Amino acid sequence: MPENELTSAITGHTRMFTGNPHIPPPKTVLCTQWRSNCFTCGVCSFLPVGVDALDMDVLAQPLVGNKYPNKDLQVLFAGEATIKSLYVTVQGALIS
């Protein structure tokens, strides 16, 4: 959707939900392009049947290096799939 159409839609919905026809349009609109991003491809996490909350806890744990297990953490995971209570939400991604 072109930015001008998005701006118009946002303004129209805001006016409709507030009942105020005088609300001005936003000064700027930032629209992410996750669908076309080569690193995300518009994806979100998906849990197949049989997966439970403990599996999510395991996936959210950091990985330590095998060679030096007492050293600093080497891989940390983030994203909405690591927050059980906010799975598949923008809030989960932000908090993580």
Task: Please write the tens of the pLDDT for every residue from 20-76.
Answer: 899 999 988 887 777 777 777 767 777 788 888 788 888 788 777 666 666 665 677
The answer to pTM > 0.75 is no
DSSP-assigned states of every residue in 54-77: HHHHHHHSPBPPSS-TTS---B--
More confident residue, 35 or 16: 16
DSSP state of 45: -
User: What H or E segment, with its residue span, contains residue 8?
Assistant: helix 3-18
pLDDT at 33: 74
pLDDT at 21: 94
